[in-house]
A and B are shown apart, each in its own frame.
Chain A
Amino acid sequence: MVATALRNGPSPVPAPIDSIVEVRGISKTYGNVEALRGIDLDFPRGKLTSLLGPSGCGKTTLLKIIAGLIRADGGTVAINGKRVSAPGPERAFVFQDFALMPWATVTRNVAFGLELRGTNKAEREEIARRYIAEVGLAGFEDKYPHELSGGMRQRVGLARALSVDADVLLLDEPFSAVDEQNRRKFQEDLIRLRTNQNKTFIFVTHSIEEAVYISDRIVLLSPRPGRVSQIIEPEIDRSGDPERIHRDRHYLDTVEEIWQGLKQYVE
């Protein structure tokens, strides 16, 4: 009922022209803890949207609800206008802890989504090889996850998500288990990748800098219960050298603005 009321009510943000993912009135409660309350969001096609907020704001829960991995207590998620409640081929997930199969080579891990779909071995390995090269892991096809560094493992996770050719990539704090230097490099690569792959990214992070650095749109969530508190569209030119962005005025201002907004939830 709440969901319907909210849908008919005035929308806090002007709806984007072409949204690929539509979230309406999503709520979720764990025991006595209200994780999410009445979330309404639109994710524009071909953009990278970050879900940003302090821990406990339900950002990962929201991402997993969109992925169909967690069932919401109320509300709906629609992808390309179609309601979904389970995982589907139009979405691919990148996990915080990589979730690689330690017994399988890089190639098999990357091709795993295709393997589950019944793509034949030669074809899926061909596709896997292409995406392994795309994420910068050429030459590591036959290695096992334990032979790779954290950053490289997450590249495998990313290649796996790319290889199933989903429209929407869902990334759950993908860099939080990666060391600082690798994270910088990885973020730059992600920006490049976005320009090449015409995909929609939904990115969960708790790092303000990271969100501002890579996002077209930042959704700020406030904690307990998780609600949308603000939507920011940083106007940063990402066409040139990604290194330059860190010194961009808009970048620095946006980081500061978000920090001022989030400060109240800390301590």
Chain B
Amino acid sequence: MTLFGYRIPMMASLFVWCVVWEIVGRLDLVFLLPPFSDVLAAAVGLVQTPSWQSATVTTLRAFAMGMALSIVIGVPLGILMGRVKIADDLLGMWVNIFSSAPLSAIVPVLMILFGFGEKTIVAAVFLFAIWIIVLDTRAGVRHISPSLIEMARSYGASRPALYCKIILWAALPEILAGIRLGLIRGVKGVVIGQLLVAIVGYGALFETFSRNFRMAEFWALTIILFAFALLIAELIERAEAKVEYYAGARQ
């Protein structure tokens, strides 16, 4: 973007909105919205509290476990659905339903199944993240050029070799895209899970802040979460860029 002939960096729009926020906050129109500078100050204070630190550890651990599970199960499931018609017919409908269903409604059921603890949060992350990973992996496997598979067969690839050396790699661009989208959904899952359980990690913090109208800290925590979600999505995007060239090179 250029303005009056000057190049304006991408982050500039963010800065403009921060200024708008600051002004609206200063005007004291809505008590829900403290000035941005207060929020920043709260964020600095927040990250130094032991309660935030332990909540972050809890949240990250549940998130990492849920994501690991959904990748370890989702990718093979997607490959299976992409390769085996009967598996696709059996599971396709359910994966599609779950990937578009309002999953928040199911989290209370998870609580009954897994109790008011970390297991429910892990299950929520898993439930939010896995479906898009399955769908994207399946799409990637479906798009593999048939001649690449014929090539492997004609040069004597065993079944494991075909999957490990060809199919997994050929579908990698889509698998990574699925994982990236899954990570973002997983962040949703961890927050919604914790909010509903309300006594774990960030959920507990959000509860405390909003119930006591500590809005600066509430927004600070929200911004930290957003930043985290964007950061991991960005990291995966970097990895995607590395394999992008061959996504384009495929016939």
Q: How far is the CA of A248 from the CA of B153 in the complex (A)?
A: 41
Write out the residue numbers on chain B whose beta carbons fall within 8 Å of the beta carbon of A146.
Answer: 245-246, 248-249
Number of A-B contacts (CB under 8 A): 66
Which of A34-42, A74-82, A83-91, A190-198 is near enough to bind chain B?
A83-91
Question: A79 to chain B: closest CB distance in Å?
Answer: 13
Please pick, from A68, A89, A144, A164, the residue contacting B245 in the complex, using a CB distance under 8 A. A144
With A87-B155, A112-B155, A116-B156 as given contacts, are A93 and B150 in contact (CB-CB < 8 Å)? yes
B248 and A69 form a contact (CB under 8 A): no
When C-beta atoms are compared, the residue in chain A nearest to B248 turns out to be: A146
Name A153-210 residues within 8 Å CB distance of B: 160, 164
For the residues of B in contact with A, the DSSP-based class is helix
B250 and A68 form a contact (CB under 8 A): no
* A101 interfacial by beta-carbon distance below 8 Å: yes
B169 and A164 form a contact (CB under 8 A): no
* A132 interfacial by beta-carbon distance below 8 Å: no
Q: How far is the CA of A133 from the CA of B246 in the complex (A)?
A: 25
B251 and A97 form a contact (CB under 8 A): yes
Name B151-182 residues within 8 Å CB distance of A: 151-158, 161, 165-166, 169-170, 172
- Number of B residues contacting the other chain (C-beta, 8 Å)? 25
* A113 interfacial by beta-carbon distance below 8 Å: yes
Write out the residue numbers on chain A whose beta carbons fall within 8 Å of the beta carbon of B158.
Answer: 116
User: Taking each of B150, B151, B246, which has the highest tally of chain A beta carbons within 10 Å of its own beta carbon?
Assistant: B151
Please pick, from B151, B161, B248, the residue contacting A99 in the complex, using a CB distance under 8 A. B151
When C-beta atoms are compared, the residue in chain A nearest to B242 turns out to be: A103
Write out the residue numbers on chain B whose beta carbons fall within 8 Å of the beta carbon of A117.
Answer: 156
Write out the residue numbers on chain A whose beta carbons fall within 8 Å of the beta carbon of B250.
Answer: 102
A102 and B245 form a contact (CB under 8 A): yes
- Give a binary string over A206-247; 1 marks a CB under 8 Å from any B CB, 0 the rest: 000000000000000000000000000000000000000000
When C-beta atoms are compared, the residue in chain A nearest to B245 turns out to be: A146
Write out the residue numbers on chain B whose beta carbons fall within 8 Å of the beta carbon of A160.
Answer: 155
Please pick, from B154, B157, B170, the residue contacting A93 in the complex, using a CB distance under 8 A. B154
Write out the residue numbers on chain A whose beta carbons fall within 8 Å of the beta carbon of B55.
Answer: none
When C-beta atoms are compared, the residue in chain A nearest to B151 turns out to be: A99
* A140 interfacial by beta-carbon distance below 8 Å: no
* B145 interfacial by beta-carbon distance below 8 Å: yes
B156 and A88 form a contact (CB under 8 A): yes
- Give a binary string over A49-76; 1 marks a CB under 8 Å from any B CB, 0 the rest: 0000000000000001001110000000
Q: How far is the CA of A44 from the CA of B133 in the complex (A)?
A: 52
User: Taking each of B148, B155, B249, B251, which has the highest tally of chain A beta carbons within 10 Å of its own beta carbon?
Assistant: B155
Q: How far is the CA of A103 from the CA of B242 in the complex (A)?
A: 10
B147 and A99 form a contact (CB under 8 A): yes
A116 and B155 form a contact (CB under 8 A): yes
When C-beta atoms are compared, the residue in chain B nearest to A104 turns out to be: B169
B246 and A87 form a contact (CB under 8 A): no
Write out the residue numbers on chain A whose beta carbons fall within 8 Å of the beta carbon of B152.
Answer: 116
* A23 interfacial by beta-carbon distance below 8 Å: no
A101 and B169 form a contact (CB under 8 A): yes
Write out the residue numbers on chain B whose beta carbons fall within 8 Å of the beta carbon of A102.
Answer: 245-246, 249-250
A113 and B147 form a contact (CB under 8 A): no
- Give a binary string over A103-139; 1 marks a CB under 8 Å from any B CB, 0 the rest: 1000000001101110000000000000000000000
Write out the residue numbers on chain B whose beta carbons fall within 8 Å of the beta carbon of A115.
Answer: 165
* A92 interfacial by beta-carbon distance below 8 Å: yes
Please pick, from B156, B246, B248, the residue contacting A103 in the complex, using a CB distance under 8 A. B246
Write out the residue numbers on chain A whose beta carbons fall within 8 Å of the beta carbon of B139.
Answer: none
* B243 interfacial by beta-carbon distance below 8 Å: yes
Question: B8 to chain A: closest CB distance in Å?
Answer: 34
Write out the residue numbers on chain A whose beta carbons fall within 8 Å of the beta carbon of B246.
Answer: 102-103, 144-146
* A19 interfacial by beta-carbon distance below 8 Å: no
Q: How far is the CA of A89 from the CA of B147 in the complex (A)?
A: 18
Question: B174 to chain A: closest CB distance in Å?
Answer: 13
Question: A87 to chain B: closest CB distance in Å?
Answer: 5
Write out the residue numbers on chain B whose beta carbons fall within 8 Å of the beta carbon of A112.
Answer: 155
Write out the residue numbers on chain B whose beta carbons fall within 8 Å of the beta carbon of A91.
Answer: 154
| 7 more CB-based (< 8 A) A-B contacts, given A64-B150, A116-B158 | A87-B155, A93-B150, A93-B154, A99-B148, A103-B243, A112-B155, A144-B246
Give A contacts to B, CB under 8 Å.
Answer: 64, 67-69, 87-89, 91-93, 95-97, 99, 101-103, 112-113, 115-117, 144-146, 160, 164
14 sample A-B contacts, Cβ–Cβ < 8 Å, listed by A number = A64-B150, A69-B150, A69-B154, A95-B151, A99-B147, A99-B151, A101-B148, A101-B170, A103-B170, A103-B243, A116-B156, A144-B246, A146-B245, A164-B155
Q: Across the A-B interface, give the 3 residue pairs with the lowest CB-CB distance, nearest first.
A: A102-B246, A99-B151, A146-B249
